[in-house]
Amino acid sequence: MATNTNLELDEWKKKNFMERLSFVKYWAEYIKNIDDKKWGAAQKLLIDSQFQMSRRFYNKFAETKEGRDKIKELKKSIANK
């Protein structure tokens, strides 16, 4: 039973990866055929919103001592990656 579940999971992961790689190909074709300004705007929306979320997260954490300690720990763990 466990083996079947693992096989299903492996198959699901493979399919998911295929879908993602296929989408990367689709996106590459898309940006080759449109103005840079158009794909740049879509990319900016995605990346800038992640920056905003992360800024909100750190600002919230920075409000408490416990949060600030967590940020310190995070910085240390990133440096040791």
What's the closest the beta carbon of residue 67 comes to other proteins, in angstroms?
Answer: 13
Place of tokens 């296929």: 22
Segment 50 to 79, residues that bind other proteins, using CB under 8 A: 50-51, 54-55, 58, 71, 74-76, 78-79
Q: Say how far apart CA 24 and CA 64 lie, in whole Å.
A: 41
Segment 22 to 51, residues that bind other proteins, using CB under 8 A: 22-29, 31-32, 35-37, 39-44, 46-48, 50-51
Judged on CB neighbours under 10 Å (0-12, 13-18, 19+), 26 is: exposed
Q: Which is nearer to other proteins, 36 or 66 (CB)?
A: 36
Q: Say how far apart CA 1 and CA 4 lie, in whole Å.
A: 5
Positions that interact with other proteins (CB under 8 A): 17-29, 31-32, 35-37, 39-44, 46-48, 50-51, 54-55, 58, 71, 74-76, 78-79
